[in-house]
Structure 1
Amino acid sequence: MLEIDPAKKLSFNRLISNADLVIVYERHDNMKAVTNRFGVFKHSEWIGKPLGSKVFSNKGGFVYLLAPTPELWTLVLSHRTQILYIADISFAIMYLEDVPGCLVLESGTGSGSLTTSLARAVAPTGHVHTFDFHEQRAGSARDDFERTGLSSLISVRVRDIQGGGFPNEFAGLADAVFLDLPQPWLAIPSAEKMLK
């Protein structure tokens, strides 16, 4: 597998390389995240094409090859939990005042929809530390962030924030805290200690 510079992966205006993740747009109600695709479309023919390209199959159909932006990723990701969608995500990021360089703590990683957008908001110098109490969900989210090229901006940890609070190492350092928990009020005392 070809190693991709993380800064290049964040760019949505680049050429497709070997082992890149792309969003394949077939029609408005059918999109998929694809790394390798066999059948009527040969993945090897996609290499070197710019993201956004329209490619034709040998059977006459076509698809568009799109970058895995946070908006498109939200539409194609595996729903391990109920997710936030773009309208709510946009409001949350604006309300949290997340900008490049911010350190954000998120509890309730779930499927990672919000996390992906938080990472783009704080890039290239910020970081999102996200926590989920469920080990398998955290592992799946970590894998997804690696696939989308965001692992340099996101750290995933297994921790029950609702029961045990955020790690003390973040006390007084966080620019923003987002709680997506069944009982968020239980984590407010800890969240307050984390904020600058």
Structure 2
Amino acid sequence: MWSTAREIAEGDLVIVWMTRDLVQPLAISSGKELNTRFGVYRHAELIGVPYGSKIGSRNGKGFIHLLRPTPELWTLALPHRTQILYLADIAFITSWLDIKPGSHVIEAGTGSGSFSHSTARTVGPTGHLWSYEFHEARANKAREEFSSHGMDEIVTLTHRNVCKEGFTVVDTVDSVFLDLPAPWDAVEHAKKALRKDRATRICCFSPCMEQVQRTIIALNDAGFTEITMYETLIRPHQVDVTPPLPTVSTIGNQLKEMEARREAKRLRQIANSRSRGDKRKREETEDSAEDQSAEKRHADEVDGSGKRHVEQTP
């Protein structure tokens, strides 16, 4: 689908990885520059660099990684023309539709092409994907991307309203995937496109329960069996490395250190308490001595009759 060479060449499509949330496609063309907040990069200087390389910027502001395109990376980097399917949904649908090398598959609608790229890689050159898109501008853009990515022999893209006009193949495909606003209108057409000589499968991708209910009614009326519904959710988990358990000697030393700190704290408290008691006793002794001195001075000033004695100088 994409270049399989070891090194980047003129005209190659590369995936520029800047951060986990900032990934973009880049078509290499001499004379152009990639200007980002992580620095400036000349396309000419990227030619001949091996895929997977880490490249520093010319102005020293940062670096980027140049990766070989894969359907997974393309899903993260592609320009969104519609809401797209992400890896969890694509993997689940591919598994339950039993899509494998050599399979013949119908997809409607094409949208931004995330499911198309994954399916094209899965079916390989021995299989085929018929993709249908009712919006002409999106169909033309997707056709241009498929051609530049080397998918012309694997994917046939048709601008067509399959809910009204049906599909272009009959009794041909192993599975049908419908990503449409009203998939129930395309169920009868899908039944005609599915092979009659073996068990086949159909998947309808809908975000609302009301759509699911109408689709189930249409599938039952068309004679489909073993109808099931699934909800695919991604629940991230934080994974940390568990530190090794400490040894018995380490724990013993920690307990001894804790006991020594407690004993030191107890001795400080006792010393502080004694210091405060001695200070209080000294203050009480000084206060008592001052009181006694004052009483003595008062007694000297008063005679035995209780009258104050005043000396007169002749």
- TM-score, structure 1 normalization: 0.88
Change in 2 beyond 3 A, CA 1:48/1:152: farther
Q: Percent identity at matched positions?
A: 47
**1:112 Cα deviation from its structure 2 partner:** 0.8
State the Cα distance separating 1:46 from its structure 2 match. 1.9
Residue 56 of structure 1 aligns with which residue?
56
Kindly indicate whether residue 118 of structure 2 is the aligned counterpart of residue 117 of structure 1: yes
Per the alignment, residue 185 of structure 2 pairs with 186
**Quick one: distance in 2 between partners of 1:10 and 1:176?**
29
1:134 counterpart residue number = 135
- Give the corresponding residue for 1:87: 88
Alignment-derived partner of residue 23 in structure 1: 15
8 A contact 2:125–2:153 mirrored in 1: no
Name the residue aligned to 1:174: 173
Q: Which has the higher helix share?
A: 2
- Aligned residue in 1 for 2:76: 75
TM-score by length of 2: 0.56
Structure 1 gaps, min length 5: 1-5
Tell me, what secondary structure is at the counterpart of 1:121? helix
Tell me how far apart the structure 1 counterparts of residues 6 and 107 of structure 2 sit (CA, whole Å): 30
Report the residue type matching 2:41 in the other structure. F
Q: 1:85 to 1:187 in 2, by over 3 A?
A: same
Retained in 2: the 8 A contact 1:10–1:150?
no
Moved over 6 A (4+): none
Identify which range, 83-92 or 49-58, moves more after superposition.
49-58
Q: Is 36-45 or 50-59 further displaced after alignment? A: 36-45
Deviation at 1:10, TM superposition (A): 6.0
One-letter amino acid of the counterpart of residue 6, structure 2: R
The C-alpha deviation readout for 1:103-146, integer Å capped at 9, x for no partner, is 11111101111111111111132121100111101011112222
State the match for 1:103 in structure 2. Answer: 104
Which of structures 1 and 2 has the bigger CA Rg? Answer: 2
**Structure 2: 5+ residue stretches without partners:** 196-314
Q: Deviations over 1:16-73 (max 9, x none)?
A: 1110000101111211111135052121222222221111222222111112211111
Q: Distance in 1 between matches of 2:96 and 2:143?
A: 26
Shift of 1:184: 0.8
Instruction: Give CA-to-partner distance per residue, 1:155-181, whole Å, 9 cap, x none.
Output: 2110110111112xx211102111111
Task: Determine the C-alpha separation between the residues in 2 that align with 1:32 and 1:111.
Answer: 15
Asked whether the 8 Å contact 1:108–1:180 carries over to 2, the reply is yes
Q: How far apart in 2 are the matches of 1:128 and 1:175?
A: 10
The two structures, once aligned, show a CA RMSD in angstroms of 1.6
Counterpart CA distance in 2 for 1:100 and 1:63 is: 34
Provide the C-alpha distance between the structure 2 equivalents of 1:57 and 1:152, rounded to a whole number of angstroms.
Answer: 38
Moved more, 34-43 or 97-106: 34-43
1:66-118 Cα shifts (integer Å, max 9, x gaps): 12211111111111111111100000111111111111111110111111111
Q: Which residue of 2 aligns with 1:3?
A: none
The count of corresponding residues between Structure 1 and Structure 2 is: 186
Query: Per the alignment, do residues 186 and 129 of structure 1 end up closer, same or farther by CA in structure 2, a change over 3 Å counting?
Result: same
Question: Contact 1:166–1:194 at 8 Å: present in 2 too?
Answer: yes
What amino acid is aligned across from residue 177 of structure 1 in structure 2? V
Give 3-state SS (helix, strand or coil) of 1:140's partner: helix
Which shifted more, 37-46 or 95-104?
A: 37-46
CA contact (8 A) 2:3 2:12 kept: no
